[in-house]
Amino acid sequence: MQLRPPAWRGWARWSLRRRLVSVAGIALVGLLAAAVTLFSVALESILVQSATRAAQLQAGQIAAVVAAGEYTPTAAVTALPAQGAVLQVLDRSGAVVAASDPALLAAPITTSRPARGASEVARADQVGDEKDPYVVVAQGIADRQGTPYTLVVAAPLGVETRTVSSATTLLAAGAALLTLVLLVAVGNIVTRALAPVEHIRGEVSQISRTGAGARITVPPSGDEIARLAETMNGMLERLSRSDAAARRFVSDASHELRSPIATLRTHLETSPGDGRGHVLAERDLALAEVARLQSLVEDLLTLAKADDQGLVLRDEEVDLDDVVDAEIRRVRTVTAVPVRAHVEPALVRGDGDRLVQVLRNVVDNAVRHTTGEVFVGMDRSEPGWVSVHVDNDGPPIPPAQRELVFGRFARLESDRGRDRGGSGLGLAIAATYTRAHGGSLTTGEDQRGRCRFTLRLPLAD
C-alpha cells in the first residue's frame, strides 16, 4: 500500500506568494463569513422585535377598548382593523369565540392562557393554512362584566424573513467580491514586496551560470532585503577570492609541472635499454604513466586558461559530419570496440579543432565505459540545431548526478575503486568548449535504456 505524503509537505512546496495569498484568503473568508452571519442574526432579531412590539401594541389597544366598554371582545376582533395581523378571542376554556378570519374559528393559534393584564410571546411556523412564520402575542383581557378572555394577535413575519434573506444574499455577494478584490491586492502587494528578492535570485543565478565576478545590485531601500544583498555580496567576494586563489594555484602548478614532465618523458624515450625484457617493460610502464600525467597537466592548463583569459575560438565553417566521420574511423582503428554510426550533413560555425576535441573526449568516455558497442548518431530533427548522440551499453548516469558528471575530476560512486583510464577532466573540457560554441552537452539514456551523451550545436545560417 502506497502512503500519501503528509499535507504539510505539499504546503511547504508552495511558493511564498501562494502561501501568503492562501492564508490571507482563508482569513478574509472566515472574517467576512462571520460578519455576514452576525449581521443576518442581528437584522433578524431587530425585525422580529419590531414586529413583536407592534403586535403587543395592537393587543394593548384592543384590550383598552374592551376594558372601556366600547366594544365587546367579539365585536372588537371583528370590527376593528386587523392591521395585517390575525386576531382571535378565546374564552376561559380555550375555545375560539371570535376571529378576524372565519377560517381561524376551528382551532386556537396558541395554547397560552395569560392572566388578565399579562401577555406572552411565542413563535409559530403556521397559522391556519398559511405556512409563513408568525410572532404570536397572547394577552389576558376581560369585558365590563369581568368575564376573562384571551386575545391573540399573530403578526406575520414573511416580509421580515424575505428582507433578511435578501440582505444576507446581497451582503454575501459583496463579501465575495470584496474578498476577490482584496486577494488580488494582496497578491500584487506580495509580488511587489518579493520583486527585489526575485531580482537578487536572478542575479545570483546569472553569476552562477557565467562564473563572472559580478555582484548583486543592492536596492536603495535600506531594509532587510538590502542587508541581504550586502551580505550576499560579501559572500560572493570571499568565494571569488578563494576561487581565484585556487585557479592561480592550478595554473601555476600546471606550468611548473609541464617542463619536468616533458624532460622526464624525453629521457625515458631516449634512454638506451640493456636488452632485458623486464627493464623494457618497466620503462614502457613508466612512459605510459608519464604520458598520462602529461595529458592531465595539459587538461589542467586548458581549463585554467579558459578560466583566466577566456576561450579564444576561431570562427569558421565546420562540416560537423566530417568531424564525426573522422572520429568514428579513429576509434575503429585504435580500439576493438564495435562502433555503429549514423551521419548526416551538417554545417556549423566555430573552431574545428576544439569541436574535434569535444567529440573525441565524449567518444573516448563512451569507449571506456561501454560493456558492448558504441553508437554515434547525428540528428537534425530540431529546426536550426544538430545533435550528436553518443550511446554506450553501460548503465545510464543516475539523474541526480547528471550535472555533476561534467564537473572537474568528477567520479561517480560506481567508478570509485576502478581505474577507467580517464583524468576526470575530459567531459569538463568538452562541456566548456560546447558552451563557448553556443551549444550544450547533456547526458541521459536512449530508448533502449543505455547511457547517452548528447552534443547539441546551432547550425550555420
Q: What is the CATH number of the domain that holds 237?
A: 1.10.287.130
C-alpha cell at position 371: 560493456
Shared domain for 419 and 364, answered yes or no, is: yes
Tell which of 274, 309, 344 closes a domain: 309
User: Which pLDDT does position 407 carry in this prediction?
Assistant: 76
Q: In the structure grid, which three cell numbers stand for residue 252, read together?
A: 601555476
Q: Judge whether residue 418 has pLDDT over 50.
A: no
Number of domains in the chain: 3
Q: Which residue has the higher pLDDT, 10 or 97?
A: 97
Q: For 18-35, how does the pLDDT look when each residue is reduced to its tens digit (9 = 90+)? A: 888 888 889 988 999 999
Which of 212, 236, 269 is the C-terminal boundary of a domain?
A: 212
Residue 109 and residue 124 in contact, taking contact as beta carbons nearer than 8 Å: yes
Both 320 and 304 in one domain: the answer is no
Q: Tell whether 8 is covered by a domain.
A: no
Same-domain status, 105 and 150: yes
**458 has which bridge partners?**
385
- The answer on 249 and 197 residing in a single domain is no
Residue 67 and residue 23 share a domain: yes
- Residue 5 resides in a domain: no
382 with 358, same domain?
A: yes
In the DSSP assignment, the letter for residue 130 is B
Region of poorest pLDDT, from 27-31, 66-70, 154-158, 313-317:
66-70
Same domain, 340 and 191: no
Question: In this predicted structure, what is the pLDDT of residue 453?
Answer: 94
Is 9 among the domain residues? no
Of 60-74, 284-298, 338-352, 386-400, the one with minimum mean pLDDT is: 284-298
Domain-embedded: residue 93 = yes
**CATH classification of the domain holding 371:** 3.30.565.10
For residues 394 and 426, membership in a common domain is answered with: yes
Q: Does residue 238 share a domain with residue 126?
A: no
In a domain, 187, yes or no: yes
Supply the pLDDT for residue 378: 95
Question: Is 181 a member of any domain?
Answer: yes
**176, 58: one domain:** yes
Q: Model's pTM, two decimal places? A: 0.49
Residue-wise pLDDT tens digits, 313-353: 788 999 999 999 999 999 998 889 999 999 999 999 998 88
Distance CA 248, CA 228 (A): 30
CATH number where 175 lies: 3.30.450.20
Whole domain around residue 296: which residue ranges? 224-309
Residues 207 and 292 in one domain: no
Query: Which triple of cell numbers denotes residue 305?
Result: 586558461
| Residue whose C-alpha is closest to residue 119's, from 50, 53, 48, 56 | 56
Q: Which of 309, 338, 364 is the last residue of a domain?
A: 309
pLDDT band at residue 80 under the 50/70/90 scheme: confident
Predicted local distance difference test score (pLDDT) of residue 170: 92
pLDDT, tens digit, 9 for 90 and up, residues 254-308: 666 666 767 766 766 676 655 555 556 666 667 666 666 666 666 666 666 665 5
What's the confidence (pLDDT) of residue 341?
93
Q: Is pLDDT above 70 for 209?
A: no
Backbone angles phi, psi at 337, to 5 degrees: -75, 130
The more confident residue out of 260 and 36 is: 36
> What is the C-alpha separation between 77 and 461, in angstroms, rounded?
103
Angle between helices 352-369 and 426-436 (to 10 degrees): 140
Which grid coordinates are listed for 268? 625515458
Q: Is 1 inside any structural domain? A: no
Q: Which residues contact 388 (CB under 8 A, 6 or more apart)?
A: 320, 324, 359, 376, 377, 378, 379, 454, 455, 456, 457
Give the model confidence (pLDDT) of 223-254 as tens digits.
788 888 888 888 888 877 776 666 666 565 66
* C-beta of residue 141 within 8 angstroms of C-beta of residue 66: yes
- The string over 27-43, giving b where at least 16 C-beta atoms fall within 10 Å of a residue's C-beta and e elsewhere, is ebeeebeeebeebbeeb
Domain membership of residue 390 (yes or no) is yes
Report residue 456's pLDDT band, with 50, 70 and 90 as the boundaries: very high
- 45-59, 81-95, 408-422, 432-446: least confidently modelled range: 408-422
- One domain, residues 288 and 415: no
Average pLDDT of the segment spanning 355-367 = 91
Which of 453 and 116 is assigned the larger pLDDT?
Answer: 453
User: What value does the mean pLDDT take over residues 141-152?
Assistant: 84
